[in-house]
Chain A
Amino acid sequence: MNEHRSQIFGVLGEFETPKQLIRAAAKTRDAGYREINAYTPFPVEGLSEALGLKKSAVPLLTLIGGLLGGLTGFGFQYWSAVISYPINVGGRSLNSWPAFIPVTFELTVLGASLFAVFGMLALNKLPEPYHPLFNVERFRQHASNDRFFLCIEASDPKFSAADAARFLKDLDAQNITEVED
């Protein structure tokens, strides 16, 4: 690598199959590394466990969104028909709640879905078009195609570029790279 490098983001190793990656990830974690992350072209089962990730908060957000949507939905209909401008529509009573259900339901779904998607993006801190990893040529070419990457990040307390590289080498990762930040 060339000189005048700034500090680095982490050390990146590359694997050929999900299995190898999972094994490596587990080992790395056992070795006491905490700030590690894996990058795969498709969701790999068992990876998050290997990395020891905690449960996602998306379901909770979705629930909140759903409730919000539903309550506003019915509440608004009730308000507009009974309080804001009460008027006799075809002899139906002002609060014709059975007729208000469909809209309530739709809004529940809408709220939930919006929260689910945008919650997911927010938690993932997306959009994030720039990322240090994209500095790595092979990552760009293969991370979204056919290779499985493991990265030990510089933010890890016991991180040292040399050690990390060596460690990965021991896990027979290929093309180990220091990722510039």
Chain B
Amino acid sequence: MSENEHFDNPLQQYRAHDHAHEHDHAHNGQHAHKQEEEPPEDPTLREYPLDLAAVRQKLQTKTGKQYWRTIEELADDPHFENFLHREFPRQASQWDDSVDRRDFLKLMAASLALAGLSGCGLNQERTNIIPYVKQPEGIVLGRPLFFATVMPFGGDALGLLVESHEGRPTKIEGNPDHPSSLGATDAFAQASVLNLYDPDRAQTPTFVGEIRTWEQFVAAAQAMGAAAKIDGSGGFRILTGIVTSPIVADQVQALLKLNPKAKWHQWEPAVADGTREGAKMAFGRYLNTVYHVDKADVILSLDADFLSNGPGHVRYMKEFYRRRKLDPMADRDGGEEMNRLYVVEPTPSVTGASADHRLPLKAADVGQFARALAGKLGLGGSGTISPAAEKWLNAAVGDLQKHRGSSLVVAGEHQPAEVHALAQAINAALGNVGKTLNYTEPVEANPVNHLESLRELCADMDAGRVDTLVIIGGNPVYDAPHDFDFLSKLKKVSNTVRLGTHFDETSEHCKWNIGESHFLEAWGDARAFDGTVSVIQPLIAPLYHTHSAYEVLAAFGDKPDVTGYDAVRARLQAGNSGADFEKFWRKTLNDGLVANSAFAPLSGVAAKFSAGSLPELKPAGTDELEFIFRPDPSTYDGRFANNGWLQELPKPVTKLTWDNAALVSPATAQKLALGHTVAARGGEHGQIISAVIDIALSGSKVTAAAWILPGQADGVVVLPLGYGRQKAGYTGTNKGFNAYAVRVSSALWTASGGTITKTSQEYPLACTQYHFNMEGRKILSTGTLEEYKKNPAFAREGDEQPPKSETLYKEFAYPGYAWGMAIDLNSCNGCNACVVACVAENNIAVVGKDQVMRGREMHWIRIDRYYKAETPTNDPSTDAGDALANPETFFQPVPCQQCENAPCEQVCPVGATVHSAEGLNDMVYNRCLGTRYCSNNCPYKVRRFNFLRFQDWETPQFKLQRNPEVSVRSRGVMEKCTYCVQRINNARIESEKQNRSIIDGEIVTACEAACPSEAIVFGNANDPNSRVSKLKAQQRNYSILGELNTRPRTTYLAAVRNPNSELERA
């Protein structure tokens, strides 16, 4: 991205001054461009946004054509066309009168409203250009603006820089200044921009299904509030998820002050109480734990997927993998020893895949393991574990003790409280506190035991003690423990108010429904995992009549007309009295966080509990099945069910899309006679037919597809949450099975006593990579640290890449830039952030389950998952399963390799794919004839073909999201990774205008930008000092299938594991 003007406030872009882009020459890459200027005084922010009736109507009638960059000049409505090609010149500065947001909204309104009208796209046809009447400043067409904001998620808030084209947020990047992001993002954050444009969103307040205005709601809310106050019986209840937002918390407290008996309940289905209660158990109070993964030499994870899940995981991932870059040059912390990770877990996780030693144990046995560990460290207590595990444990303990103060034990959030308590105790015993982890005040505004909180609410509702229930977000009807029978109890409440993104299972049974604004639409604030406060600043006025949690809560209070914007400012003002507030405010918005608002680490927090004191725990039965619930990697707790990007995203380990499945280990599968058959259509790259099983658990039943997962602990059945939605929207409804149906309060995360019966039915699953066997080919190169130290070039062993001289033809020279990419397999854990980032940046189409099953998904970068296991077969349901009981797992991101001797180019009959002078393997969509010969001839199979019209050219919302810098491919055209050539070109143009060459790091591809582990590095291979050249210079560097002499520009650094020699010998 060549320029990122970084404004305090998007709505203020109109008042930006000319130096807006004099500045952007200076900076490069990710770095936000700070800008000092007049304080924004935006009266309009307080105004109710202009009526979007027209827009809404248009949005509801999804007619119209694709208008963004299309290959063929497809018919577009001329007017609309011009809203896109609309020019946004800078205004001469003497004309400085405040422009209110109306213009902006009108632009939005008009562009949406006009989307549908049809026109003809003939060359002759007359089209119009529609300039502004009064020009909002700051916007320059074709120059994206970047704004800092945060995405609140669970007990965390991820710092973001959001790219905006003419007022449309199109792409999300990480905010380098923000502690939770450090510039990276995860798949959810990348995909969240699509939620904004989700056409199925709740769009207006309704009362028992009838459209109401916000004013009418406010009136009603006031009445309810007043009534509750008068009544005073405490019948007024608020149900939220985890709240880290200070203003929301304050608002709730304010309401509670008004109605002292009223209660605030919290329920977050996918975040366990274990963490909270564990802290309480250990310290007698709720505390927040912050890890310093980069400081830890040895890490033991007790079923903790801390690299891909839970607060701070993006940061932890960065910190963790910075300790696994084997090259001092690449290692920011200067060549420390590589860290070592031990993982004990019931089911393979992203974290487990990176482990140097991994031990599959039933979830319940993890508790035993923790106790045994504590015992070994002399903290008292003991656990019963298998001899094998014992040996494993001894090795781990030895290692931990060797690294007192530089080790770290992390308990999984789905483990019960005592495991967390034990972990705290163990860390204390190992002297890690204050070194590899700290304790701070809780990030949650009001930490409570969510299960108990919900239980209480349900009881009260049942007893008729609740007359007004305000449900903020969440989706309890869908995700509450099913023994609570939330629905029937909800029906007993007379006044129900719901704020929700969609009209979902819960909304259906609430009287008042308010559409919830996306975090890119409304003002707010949130705390990050370490307590850092950030302002959620909107980039766009709400597309529909939606509102934020704060606004809805405020409606019940005494100041219903105080907007989120005021509240946030007011709170910050209170926080920093005096000083130059406006300056502070601007800086806050600009940096995307309130300077040093992170909680100070608490000192002298000692675990006051002894492992011995824990009640005895009987080991889990060996042959009885254990069912565990986990948030799904794609839909999380179900909130992302309607997000096409995530639905089609192959889950990191299983590579399943569009469905969840009950995961079982190969051995268990054999016991239950479950198997896979590879379908004739699509086959290994698309469609696997799996057995359907009936699960009877906790007095309830659910039918699910079974999936055999190598590396899973025997006897464990994983039931991923977040699927089987009944009212999620067009994309998400009726996908997969609903694990909540068998989830009860007594066994929220780990359940036993269930049975599985195989049914006669079969179910086709869309799996993008079923073949995990490398067939002994030189595709992914791995080794151990010892091997690496002995022979750093082990990756090139037996590399038959012929010397450049061996050719009839003379080599082409690349005198200028030579773009290249290096991917460090040692840092990739398959988290998928890059895949979604690529989808968002390059307008990649979602094709749907049926097409994925035919092997036609469109992702430009795929992450291959291989098992390092000597198995002759590729079928986990056979005896080879033994080899697959606990295989080493490796991930390999594969984008277009940009071969210098590209096999694809030579066979294209029309020259639609040829080389650029900078060595890019150009794909010229508008020249492509669609013979698919190039794809056949591509050894890496990274090319993707538009077999049908995959792009959604009707839904106007999706048009708004698309990146105007990238052509939207039409049917019948081949496409593939271009190294984000649009970013390259923009950077080049900027540099050329200044007669300078492009600075290393000035161009960051979408995948590289998103990657939390810095596994992907792009740059100019001709510049010996560029990061990519340095990586390529490493001896671990090799190219896939080098012997084919395709000379890929994308090369890989071999994965190196750091196993414990003691366990090795064992």
Chain A residues within 8 Å of B, Cβ to Cβ: 87-93, 96
User: Are B911 and A90 interface neighbours, CB within 8 A?
Assistant: no
How many interface residues does B have (CB within 8 Å)? Answer: 18
> Does B811 touch A at the CB level, under 8 Å?
yes
Closest approach, in angstroms, between the C-beta of B84 and any C-beta of chain A? 31
Neighbouring A residues of B911 by C-beta, 8 Å: 87, 89
CA distance A161 to B917 in the complex (A): 82
Whether A91 and B900, one on each chain, are in contact in the complex, defined by CB atoms closer than 8 angstroms, is yes
Chain B residues, Cβ within 8 Å of A92: 809, 906
User: Which chain B residue shows the least CB distance to A93?
Assistant: B809
- Cβ contact within 8 Å between B917 and A89: no
Interface majority SS on B: helix, strand, loop or mixed?
loop
C-alpha spacing A91/B809, complex, angstroms: 8
Q: Which residue of B lies closest to A87 (CB)?
A: B914
- Closest chain B residue to A85 by CB distance? B911
Q: Is the CB of B915 within 8 A of A89?
A: yes
**Chain A neighbourhood of B917, CB < 8 A:** 88
How distant is the Cα of A90 from the Cα of B915 in the complex, in angstroms?
7
Q: Which secondary structure dominates chain A's binding surface?
A: loop
- Interface flag for B903 (CB, 8 Å): yes
Partner of A90, one of B811, B903, B916: B903
A171 and B429 CA atoms in complex are apart in Å by: 133
A90 touches B1047 (CB 8 A): no
Query: Which chain A residues lie closer than 8 Å to B915 at the CB level?
Result: 87-91
Minimum CB–CB distance for B812 against chain A, Å: 5
Within 8 A of A (CB), among B86-125: none
Are B905's CB and A89's CB within 8 A?
A: yes
Q: 6 new A-B pairs (CB below 8 Å) besides A90-B914, A91-B902, A93-B810? A: A87-B911, A88-B917, A89-B911, A90-B915, A91-B809, A91-B1047
Q: CA separation between A34 and B905, bound complex, in Å?
A: 65
B904 at the interface (CB under 8 A from A): yes
5 A-B contacts (beta carbon < 8 Å): A88-B916, A89-B914, A89-B915, A90-B899, A90-B901
Residue of B nearest to A96 (CB): B809
Instruction: Tell me how far the C-beta of B943 lies from the nearest C-beta in chain A, rounded to whole angstroms.
Output: 14
Q: How far is the CA of A89 from the CA of B811 in the complex (A)?
A: 12
Shortest CB-to-CB span from B402 to chain A, Å, is 52
Cβ proximity bits B882-919 to A, threshold 8 Å, 1 near / 0 not: 00000000000000000111111110000100111100
Closest Cβ neighbor of A99 among chain B residues: B906
> Which A residues touch B905, using CB under 8 A?
89-90
In the complex the two chains form, what is the Cα distance from A92 to B900 in whole Å? 10
CA distance A20 to B902 in the complex (A): 71
Expressed in whole angstroms, the Cα–Cα distance for A96 and B915 within the complex equals 15
In the assembled complex, the Cα of A90 lies from the Cα of B908 at a distance in Å of 10
Q: With A and B bound together, what is the CA distance between A78 and B810 in angstroms?
A: 17
A91 touches B914 (CB 8 A): no
B728-760 contact mask (Cβ, 8 Å, vs A): 1 or 0: 000000000000000000000000000000000
B284 to chain A, nearest CB (A): 69
CA A80 to CA B914, docked complex, whole Å: 15
Give chain A nearest CB distance to B784 CB in angstroms.
36
Report chain B residues within 8 Å CB of A87: 911, 914-915
Cα-based distance from A93 to B914 in the complex (angstroms): 13
CA distance A118 to B589 in the complex (A): 82
Chain B residues with CB under 8 Å of A91's CB are 809, 811-812, 900-902, 915, 1047
Which A residue sits closest to B901, measured CB to CB? Answer: A91
Query: In the complex, A88 Cα to B810 Cα: how many Å?
Result: 12
Residues in A neighbouring B899, C-beta threshold 8 A: 90
**Complex: how many Å from CA A96 to CA B810?**
11
B819 → chain A closest CB, angstroms? 14
C-alpha spacing A92/B902, complex, angstroms: 9
The 8 lowest CB-CB distance pairs between A and B, nearest first, are A90-B905, A88-B915, A91-B901, A90-B906, A93-B809, A90-B902, A89-B905, A88-B812
Interface centre among B812, B899, B903 (most CB of A within 10 A): B812
- Could you tell me the distance between the alpha carbons of A150 and B408 in the complex, rounded to whole angstroms? 114
Inter-chain CA distance A91–B900, complex, in Å, is 6
Determine the distance from Cα of A69 to Cα of B254 in the docked complex, in whole angstroms: 91
CB distance from A73 to the nearest CB of B (A): 17
Q: In the bound complex, what is the Cα–Cα distance between A92 and B914 (angstroms)?
A: 11
The CA-CA distance from A79 to B812 in the complex, in Å, is: 19
> Min CB distance, B802 to chain A, in Å?
13
Closest CB of chain B to A99's CB: distance in Å? 8
Residues in chain B near residue A90, CB distance under 8 A: 899, 901-906, 914-915
CA distance A88 to B812 in the complex (A): 8
Chain B residues near A96 (CB-CB < 8 A): 809
CA A89 – CA B934 in complex, angstroms?
A: 12
B954 to A: closest C-beta gap in Å: 37
In the bound complex, how far is the Cα of B904 from the Cα of A90, in angstroms?
A: 7
Tell me how far the C-beta of A25 lies from the nearest C-beta in chain B, rounded to whole angstroms. 56
Q: Which residue of A lies closest to B1047 (CB)?
A: A91
Question: Once bound together, how far apart are the Cα atoms of A145 and B812, in whole Å?
Answer: 68
CA distance A158 to B1002 in the complex (A): 98
Measured between alpha carbons, how far is A92 from B903 in the docked complex, in Å?
10
Give the shortest distance, in Å, between A6 (CB) and chain B (any CB): 61
Contact residues in A for B914 (Cβ distance below 8 Å): 87-90
| Residue ID in chain A nearest B934 by CB atoms | A90
Find chain B residues with CB under 8 A from A89 CB. 905-906, 911, 914-915
Q: Name A80's closest neighbour in chain B (CB-CB).
A: B911
A92 to B915, CA, bound (A): 10
Looking at the assembled complex, report how far the CB atom of A176 sits from the nearest CB atom of chain B, in whole angstroms. Answer: 64
A93 vs B813: C-alpha distance when bound (angstroms): 11
What's the least CB distance linking A82 to chain B, in Å?
Answer: 13
Distance (whole angstroms) from the CB of A170 to the closest CB of chain B: 69
The complex places the Cα of A87 from the Cα of B810 at a distance, in Å, of 14
Map CB proximity to A onto B797-820 as digits: 1 under 8 Å, 0 otherwise: 000000000000111100000000
Alpha-carbon separation in the docked complex, A96 to B906 (Å): 11
CB distance from B1025 to the nearest CB of A (A): 26
Min CB distance B902 to A, Å, is: 4
User: Which residues from A are CB-within-8-Å of B811?
Assistant: 91
Whole-angstrom distance between the Cβ of A75 and the nearest chain B Cβ: 19
Q: How far is the CA of A92 from the CA of B811 in the complex (A)?
A: 8
The residue on A at minimum CB distance from B921 is A90
A88: which B residues are within 8 A, CB to CB? Answer: 812, 914-917
Complex formed: what's the CA distance from A89 to B903 in Å?
Answer: 9
Bound CA span A90–B901, Å: 5
Distance in Å from the Cβ of B157 to the closest Cβ of chain A?
A: 48
Instruction: List, in ascending order, chain A residues with CB within 8 A of B901's CB.
Output: 90-91
Complex Cα–Cα for A24 and B915 (A): 74
Report Cα–Cα, A93/B808, bound state, in Å: 9
A89, A91, A93: most-surrounded residue (chain B CB, <10 A): A91
Q: Per-residue 0/1 for B812-834: is the Cβ within 8 Å of any A Cβ (1 yes, 0 no)?
A: 10000000000000000000000
Q: Which residues of B are found within 8 Å of A93, using beta-carbon distances?
A: 809-810
Closest to A88 in B: B915
Q: Give B905 Cβ to nearest chain A Cβ, in Å.
A: 4
A90-B903 Cα distance, complex, nearest whole Å:
6
Considering only CB atoms, which chain B residue lies closest to A95 in the complex? B809
Assembly CA distance A68 to B202 (angstroms): 72
Q: Which of A88, A92, A93, A96 has the most CB of B within 10 A?
A: A88
- Interface-centre pick from B810, B904, B915 (highest chain A CB count, 10 A): B915
Distance, CA A4 to CA B572, complexed state (A):
124
Taken together as a complex, chains A and B put the C-alpha atoms of A81 and B232 apart, in Å, by 87
Fill in one digit per residue for B117-159: 1 if any A CB lies within 8 Å of its CB, else 0.
0000000000000000000000000000000000000000000
A90 to chain B, nearest CB (A): 4
Q: Cα distance A37–B116 when bound, in Å?
A: 79
**CA distance in complex: A91, B914 (Å):** 9
Question: In the complex, how many angstroms separate the beta carbon of B852 from the nearest chain A beta carbon?
Answer: 30
Interchain CA distance A38-B906 in the complex, whole Å:
58
Report the separation of the CA atoms of residues A170 and B809 in the bound assembly, to the nearest whole angstrom: 77
Q: In the complex, which of the residues A90, A92, A93, A96 has the most CB atoms of chain B within 10 Å of its own CB atom?
A: A90
Rounded to whole angstroms, the CA-CA distance of A91 and B901 in the bound complex is: 5
A87 to B927, CA, bound (A): 15
Nearest CB in chain A: distance from B1042 CB, A: 15
Minimum Cβ distance to chain B for residue A100 (Å): 13
Report how far A90 CA is from B1047 CA in the complex, Å: 10
Nearest-neighbour CB distance to chain A for B407, whole angstroms, equals 51
